[in-house]
Structure formats: C-alpha cells, structure tokens
C-alpha cells in the first residue's frame, strides 16, 4: 500500500473522530422567558430542560433566564431571529411583532370554547404558523399555553362601559391596539417586566393577564380585583433560532424534539388551566376579590365583534386576511364541545 493510499484510508476516520469530538461538547442554549421563576411556566421550562438533557444525553442543555433577564419579550424575539439569543418561550402577541398575523389567534371572544380553540391550533394553525416563522429565521418548537386572560385592577371591569377611557397595558400590535380602541379604552405599550410598576404609578389601570402571572408576580397585591371572563385564551409558543436548530446533528435534533415531546402542548394547557382554578381560590383566601362576569356581561363584550375581527385582519394585510380565513375555516371544522 502506498503512502498516499494509506493516508486516504485514514482521512475518513480522522474526519469522523473530529466530528464526534465536536459533538461531544454540549451545546448550551440560552433560553429566555418573561415568566417569574416561581410560576408554573418556569416549572414547565425547567422540566423541558431536564427532558432535553436526558434525551440528548447532555449534548444539548437549555439554560433558562427568567423574569426577562435577557430583555423584554419584544426585544428578545428579535434577538433570537438574528441569532444573538438561542431560544425562548413567548406570548403570541409578542411573537406577532415578527409575524403580525399570529396575534389573530388571540382575538377576543373568537372561539366558542377551549376545545374548539385547541383543535384549531393543532390541526389548522400549526403548519402555516411554522412556515411564516421560518421566513423570519425562527423554528416553532411547540405551542405553549399562557392561559385564560382576565382583567385585574383596583376595581372590577365586568361591563364594556367599565373600560371606556381607562388605560390598558398591552403588547403593542394591531390586534391589541385596535380591539381596545374599539372598546373605548386607551392601549398603552407595556413590557411584562414593567407591569407592576406601571400599575403602581398609574401609567395603566389594568393589564389583561392570566392567574399564572397575576399571583406569582405579586400583581394581585397591587390590583386586588380580578374580573374573570376570559377575554381570550392566550396562546404561547416556544421558538428557537432556525440556524441553531439546523446546526444540530440529525440524531441530536431528533433527541431535542423528543425531549419537548415528553410534555406535549395538551399537557401544558391542562396544567395552566388547573393553575387558573387553584389560584382563583388562593386569591380569594388571601383577601382578594374575584368578580365573575355573567353570561350576559360576556355577551355584551362579544356583541358586534365580528366586524372588528375582520378589520384587524385586513389592517394586518393580505397575510392577516389569509390567516383569518384559515381560522374561520378551522373554527367551522372543529367542534365547540
């Protein structure tokens, strides 16, 4: 055997050894979340981190940063899109800053039930949402769950007339802005990390939120009245930079996906909904006030909203109108119960 042929036989082995060596070092991914560290979302993220580490045999490790340590959701999503932060979990309203039509999933009073909404998410909205995010350099890992959205404050807001003229903290996008304007309220851009201070100083009067944030964040002490509706069931999403995801070796990527699959979206939803009921009782036990909106009051809020939904979708643009049509078709195909 010549030296050249001998060297040629060694080259593939050397390349394989180098590849194995490169993949033996764990990939540490910064995972951003606005969730308080004691919240159920933080528990879910920590559990997913453990599952990913186990499935990938520590080839991938998620390093969570809670309480918006890496920045507000709006800024962090842009950073993930650019590849400066690896991944995170976000509300659909924040994701909509990259793909505006996604905010339509949170149209107030659009879905008739949680069952119908979950069906539309999983069977109709998943593929078009993932496709739209890919164009922004983002890979949709899975749907998350933010929870049922209610209105906290220093008084109740059970009737539509109660919110006329008040200042509502929002993640700024066309959906949140146009809905609250249609209700006669004043939407005020508010980062999650600024909610409590903004409520204390009077910059906002309410911040539509689920119990899973209301209690762990301490907002219930500042705004002791909680008006329960829900206005909508807020969608969440776990995203990773597409370049980071694509860079994983195929077997590692499959294990990464398998780690998240250990706790599917249906399980996350059930957990957050259970927390909503438990924390309602805890809030009352701690001296807080819960005002349950009656069916008549909910109907008053929902009255004549369809033209508002269509206007919001149209104002987003052609992508918004197409996405809205998908949601309408999905709603018709999915049972309400």
pLDDT tens-digit readout, 227-251:
999 999 999 999 999 999 999 999 9
165: helix, coil or strand? coil
Q: Rounded to two decimals, what is the model's pTM?
A: 0.85
- Residue 77: predicted pLDDT: 94
pLDDT in tens, 150-171: 999 999 999 999 999 999 999 8
- pLDDT of residue 11 exceeding 60, the answer is no
Work out the pLDDT band at 24, boundaries 50, 70, 90.
Answer: low
- Residue 291: predicted pLDDT: 96
Question: What average pLDDT score do residues 44-49 get?
Answer: 98
How much helix, strand and coil, in percent to the nearest 5, is found in the chain?
55, 20, 30
- pLDDT of residue 60 exceeding 80, the answer is yes
In the chain, the N- to C-terminal Cα span, in Å, equals: 74
- Residue 19: predicted pLDDT: 42
| Chain centroid offset of residue 247 CA | 24
CA angle 111–152–170, rounded 5-degree value: 65
DSSP assignment of 296-333 equals HHHHHHHTT-HHHHHHHHHHH-HHHHHHHHHHHHHHHH
Radius of gyration of the chain (CA): 22
- pLDDT of residue 6 exceeding 50, the answer is no
């Amino acid at each position: 055997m010549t030296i050249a042929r001998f060297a040629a036989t060694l080259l593939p082995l050397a390349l394989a050894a180098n590849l194995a060596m490169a993949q033996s070092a764990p990939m540490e991914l910064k995972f951003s979340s606005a969730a308080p560290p004691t919240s159920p979302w933080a528990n879910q993220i920590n559990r997913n981190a453990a599952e990913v580490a186990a499935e990938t045999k520590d080839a991938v490790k998620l390093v969570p940063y809670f309480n918006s340590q890496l920045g507000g959701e709006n800024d962090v999503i842009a950073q993930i899109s650019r590849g400066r932060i690896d991944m995170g979990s976000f509300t659909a309203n924040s994701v909509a800053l990259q793909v505006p039509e996604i905010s339509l999933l949170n149209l107030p009073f659009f879905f008739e039930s949680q069952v119908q909404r979950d069906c539309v998410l999983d069977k109709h909205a998943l593929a078009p949402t993932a496709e739209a995010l890919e164009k922004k350099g983002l890979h949709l890992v899975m749907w998350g769950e933010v929870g049922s959205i209610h209105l906290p404050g220093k008084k109740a807001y059970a009737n539509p007339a109660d919110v006329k003229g008040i200042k509502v903290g929002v993640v700024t996008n066309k959906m949140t802005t146009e809905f609250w304007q249609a209700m006669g309220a004043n939407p005020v851009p508010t980062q999650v990390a600024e909610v409590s201070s903004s409520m204390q100083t009077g910059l906002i009067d309410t911040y539509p939120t689920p119990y899973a944030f209301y209690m762990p964040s301490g907002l219930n002490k500042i705004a002791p009245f909680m008006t329960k509706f829900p206005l909508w069931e807020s969608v969440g999403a776990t995203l990773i930079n597409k370049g980071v995801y694509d860079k994983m070796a195929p077997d590692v990527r499959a294990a990464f996906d398998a780690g998240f699959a250990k706790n599917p979206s249906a399980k996350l939803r059930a957990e957050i909904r259970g927390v909503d009921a438990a924390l309602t009782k805890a809030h009352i036990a701690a001296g807080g006030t819960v005002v349950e909106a009656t069916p008549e009051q909910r109907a008053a809020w929902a009255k004549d909203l369809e033209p508002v939904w269509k206007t919001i979708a149209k104002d987003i643009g052609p992508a918004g109108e197409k996405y809205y049509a998908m949601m309408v078709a999905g709603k018709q195909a999915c049972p309400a119960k």
